[in-house]
Amino acid sequence: MQGTVAGRELLEPRSLADAVKMLRDEGPLVPMAGCTDLYVALNFGTLRPTRFLNLWNLDTLRGIEARGQTLRIGALTTYTDLITSGVIRRRLPMLAAAAREVGGVQIQNRGTLGGNVANASPAGDTLPVLLAVDTVVVLRSAAGTRRLPMTSFYTGYRQTAARQDELIVTFEIPAVRGRQWFRKVGTRAAQAISKVVVAGVWDKARAGARPRLAMGSVAPIPLRLSQTEHALGSGAPLAEAQAVLQREIAPIDDLRSTEEYRRQVAANLLGQFCAETSRR
Ligand SMILES: Cc1cc2nc3c(=O)[nH]c(=O)nc-3n(C[C@H](O)[C@H](O)[C@H](O)COP(=O)(O)OP(=O)(O)OC[C@H]3O[C@@H](n4cnc5c(N)ncnc54)[C@H](O)[C@@H]3O)c2cc1C
């Protein structure tokens, strides 16, 4: 049954310090950013919590900046911000490519990177990008700041290592060298959840450089494919790397696809990644 906003409470912090104090002293509260996922849950009648913390007006959580080698992206950065950012185009074009594939324009204007990461869907389109480039998730609570590698952020199906009193504030991304590559396979070009989504980078010009690869919709959590990376980096032929990939992923049958189809697509995408990151 469709949910309703009646009987729910929204707290309005005026600063980040205010927000984390509210989480500590007035919790449990559910952070609310662009609300694109939360609203779907409300509509489906599955949104149980009644108390929310509105992050939307906290401008300190917005912005994209390159500081030396590190790219910093605020949690409230929207898909539209990513698509239109010159810094992202230059430093992390595959993140703009992923953002362009998310929903439609309305969702791109409202949905945030922090929300995509915190929502922890294994099909989230930006997650393989962030995983492949060794992103650090910066969390803030009233007790201080914690930095977690994205590769240890997801602990189980729709579960993260963030505590209830913590907010995601920023993503820190070290310099990325090599050709970036992103593909989303869905039912149609727009407004479709991924059947398989992959991001990778491989600096083939640098001797001994290992590829970095991550996939979504092929396991309970978005996966960094370290064993497949190792096989490719050690010069294994594609068929061998594809066999390693099949052992590394654990796709399921669901309403969007089948395990068999996902396995085939994942193998094909690995082949495309290898071929296309070789081109100059
Ligand atoms: C029509 C439609 C199409 C979509 N298409 C796609 C698609 O193609 N690909 C895709 O990946 N996604 C898609 N989505 C999902 C969605 O838009 C994203 O997951 C979005 O990025 C969520 O961001 P938000 O700001 O709206 O999050 P919200 O809905 O506000 O929050 C989502 C979750 O994240 C938590 N949260 C938000 N910000 C923070 C923070 N800073 N710190 C801690 N927790 C936080 C919230 O508590 C909540 O649990 C679609 C959604 C809709 C409605």
Element (H, E) at 25: helix 16-26
Alpha carbon nearest to ligand 1 atom 31, residue? 115
* pLDDT, position 1: 66
Q: Whose CA is nearest to atom 7 of ligand 1?
A: 102
Q: Return d(Cα 111, Cα 106) in angstroms, integer.
A: 8
Contact 106, 198 (CB under 8 A): no
What is the per-residue pLDDT across 99-130, written as a single tens digit (0 to 9) for each?
999 999 999 999 999 999 999 999 999 999 99
Q: How far is the CA of 197 from the centre of ligand 1 (A)?
A: 17
Average pLDDT, the chain: 94
CA of 187 to the centre of ligand 1 (A): 20
Instruction: Give me the amino acid identity at 166.
Output: E
Q: In degrees rounded to 5, what are phi and psi of residue 230?
A: -60, -45
**DSSP states along 177-228:** -SEEEEEEE-SSSSS---SEEEEEEE-TTSTTPPPEEEEESSSSS-EE-HHH
pLDDT at 49 over 80: no
Q: Is 239 exposed, middle or buried (0-12, 13-18, 19+ CB in 10 A)?
A: exposed
What are 192-207's pLDDT values in tens digits?
788 999 999 999 888 7
pLDDT value of residue 130: 98
Q: How far is the CA of 203 from the centre of ligand 1 (A)?
A: 32
Q: Give the mutation target among 107, 137, 256 for probing the ligand 1 site: most ligand atoms within 8 A of CB.
A: 107
Ligand 1 geometric centre to CA of 115 (Å): 4
Sign of the Cα torsion 161, 165, 169, 175 reads negative
Q: Are strands 51-54 and 9-11 parallel, antiparallel or unpaired?
A: parallel
What is the mean predicted confidence (pLDDT) over 120-148? 97
pLDDT at 189: 65
Residues with CB under 6 A from ligand 1: 30-38, 40, 55, 75, 102-103, 107, 110-112, 114-116, 118-119, 124-125, 167-168, 191, 193
For the chain, report the end-to-end CA distance as a whole number of angstroms.
Answer: 54
pLDDT of residue 198: 97
Alpha-carbon distance values, 25 to 61, 141, 143, 218, 244 (Å):
21, 11, 12, 39, 48
Q: DSSP label at 274?
A: H
Instruction: Say how many Å lie between the CA of residue 246 and the centre of ligand 1.
Output: 29
Cβ contacts of residue 90 below 8 Å, gap of 6+? Answer: none
Residues 6+ apart with CB under 8 A from 53: 10, 11, 13, 19, 22, 23, 29, 30, 31, 32
Residue 279 pLDDT > 60: no
By C-alpha distance, which of 175, 132, 123, 167 is closest to 150? 132
- Cα–Cα distance, 125 to 217 (Å, whole number): 9
- The sign of the torsion formed by the CA atoms of 96, 98, 101, 105 equals negative
Give dist(CA 20, CA 193) in Å, integer: 32
The pTM of the full predicted model, rounded to 2 decimals, is 0.96
Distance, CA of 71 to CA of 65 (rounded, Å):
6
